[in-house]
């Protein structure tokens, strides 16, 4: 409980005669303990009700209808060089893992809990996970740079290991769906079914599944048939999607690598997630600016929160991403991601970094740092109501 500073109690209207504890983050290093067991909720005896009711606050009350977003990076409390992974939890309990990459220790990573859905924008090794974390993210000596300590996952991948271990529904582009289905089958020794014949995917599941999600299509992830769920769709991304032959077995592995070829896997994608509290999140994936950001993403899906990759060289840099956020997507709030740098020190943006530049370019927008292990709680309007201690609030031009 050392990290669970500032516990507050609130009455969850969905659970009679019980109280539910939520963690109210008091700093960058909090909240991990409350989520490490797979649920943000802990039930307490009615005898304690009077005590906890004294602690009810407006912010905590908002937690009962907020979406929890927890970055899972290389070092707790920081935004590190190879960080990509985000874990989302809808108020209905649906938990979605985005681009696991290399900073999760496979399905046994204690930070994961339940993972109902696995999303992957494309098959590059830093997203698919050509290695998995082999360092304790809570240790201050853990690497935050490019010298991450990892274990091998090839030829399977970290994403396949997690989905296989967590009985997750994998929702990805068509070619990636069949590929990951085969990888999961190889790990489990049995075929991987598709997730559902229709749009609705029920979770939790007793075995993993893999299905495609096409541009302009949609899936709804729900805990109960017909009940409100999280809407997921794929949107265009301007990037490559070649698969490193190291993920393959022979003869294709040798044949492709000896010719300097990658395996074609169709177009990369981004995602739109529509949560049950009204929060709508655009996950760009690796991409350049593209006109779909204005026509399809803004005009049709109207996200109010964007997770934008800002690494430059391979994707939009901070200047291009800032333009896209304000002039193409038009979101209310943004989380920078995939910066390909050690972006923070002690949870604060390092001056002169790409992340600092991105923050400076968005003086009128709320920019929330993806500090690993720190759970941010968002309401339906993309306001972070808890856990964003290191954010740059709107109308403040200097990053912390
Ligand atoms: Zn990429
Ligand atoms: Zn990448």
What would the pLDDT profile of 138-193 be if each residue is shown by its tens digit?
Answer: 999 999 999 999 999 999 999 999 999 999 999 999 999 999 999 999 999 999 99
Query: Which pLDDT score, from 0 to 100, does residue 64 have?
Result: 64
* Residue 277 Cα to ligand 1 middle (Å): 31
pTM metric for this prediction: 0.83
- Find the 240 Cα to ligand 1 centroid distance in Å: 6
What is the share, in percent, of the chain residues with pLDDT greater than 90? 80
What is the average pLDDT value for the chain, to the nearest integer? 85
Neighbours of ion ligand 1 (CB under 5 A): 124, 286
* Domain locations along the chain: 6-61, 67-386
297 sits in which H/E element: none
191-243 pLDDT, tens digit each: 999 998 899 999 999 999 999 999 999 999 999 999 999 999 999 999 999 99
| Per-residue b or e along 263-302, where b marks 16 or more CB atoms closer than 10 Å to that residue's CB | bebbbbbbbbbbbbbebbbbbbbbbbbbebbeebbbeebe
Rounded CA-CA distance 338/126 in Å is 10
Tell how far the Cα of 297 is from the centroid of ligand 1, in angstroms: 20
CATH 3.30.70.380 corresponds to the domain 67-386: no
Q: What φ, ψ does residue 162 adopt, rounded to 5°?
A: -65, -50
- The confidence score (pLDDT) of residue 197 equals 85
Please tell me the number of Cα atoms within 13 Å of 34 on its side-chain side: 29
Q: Are strands 333-337 and 280-283 parallel, antiparallel or unpaired?
A: unpaired
Distance (Å) from CA 286 to ligand 2 centroid: 6
The tens digit of pLDDT for each residue in 371-396 reads 999 999 999 999 999 999 645 554 44
Structure tokens at 273: 């997630």
Nearest-ligand number for the alpha carbon of 85: 2
d(CA 334, CA 352): 19
- Cα(350) to ligand 2 centroid in Å equals 21
């Amino acid at each position: 409980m050392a990290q669970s500073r500032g516990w507050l109690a609130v009455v969850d209207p969905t659970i009679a005669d019980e109280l539910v504890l939520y963690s109210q983050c008091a700093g960058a290093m909090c909240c991990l303990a409350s989520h490490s067991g797979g649920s943000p909720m802990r039930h307490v005896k009615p005898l304690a009700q009077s005590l906890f009711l004294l602690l009810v606050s407006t912010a905590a009350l908002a937690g009962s209808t907020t979406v929890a977003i927890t970055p899972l990076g290389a070092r707790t409390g920081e935004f590190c060089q190879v960080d990509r992974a985000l874990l989302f939890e809808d108020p209905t309990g649906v938990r979605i893992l985005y681009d696991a990459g290399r900073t999760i220790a496979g399905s046994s990573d204690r930070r994961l809990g339940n993972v109902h859905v696995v999303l992957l924008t494309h098959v590059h090794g830093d997203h698919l996970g050509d290695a998995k974390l082999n360092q304790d993210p809570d240790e201050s000596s853990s690497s935050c740079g490019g010298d991450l300590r990892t274990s091998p996952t090839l030829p399977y991948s970290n994403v396949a290991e997690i989905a296989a271990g967590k009985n997750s529904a994998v929702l990805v582009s068509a070619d990636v769906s069949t590929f990951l289905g085969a990888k999961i089958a190889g790990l489990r020794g049995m075929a991987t079914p598709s997730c559902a014949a229709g749009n609705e995917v029920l979770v939790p599941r007793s075995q993993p599944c893999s299905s495609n999600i096409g541009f302009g299509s949609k899936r709804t992830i729900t805990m109960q048939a017909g009940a409100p769920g999280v809407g997921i769709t794929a949107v265009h991304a301007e990037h490559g999607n070649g698969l490193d032959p190291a993920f393959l077995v022979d003869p294709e592995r040798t044949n492709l690598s000896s010719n300097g070829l990658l395996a074609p896997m169709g177009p990369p994608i981004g995602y739109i997630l529509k949560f049950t509290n009204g929060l709508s999140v655009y996950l760009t994936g690796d991409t350049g600016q593209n006109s779909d950001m204005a026509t399809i993403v803004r005009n049709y899906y109207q996200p109010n929160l964007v997770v934008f990759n800002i690494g430059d060289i391979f994707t939009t840099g901070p200047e291009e991403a800032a333009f896209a956020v304000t002039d193409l997507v038009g979101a209310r709030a943004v989380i920078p991601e995939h910066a390909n740098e050690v972006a923070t020190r002690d949870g604060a943006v390092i001056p002169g970094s790409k992340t600092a530049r991105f923050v400076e370019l968005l003086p009128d927008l709320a920019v929330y740092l993806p500090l690993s292990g720190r759970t941010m709680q968002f309401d339906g309007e993309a306001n972070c109501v808890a856990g964003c201690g290191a954010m740059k609030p709107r109308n403040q031009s200097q990053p912390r």
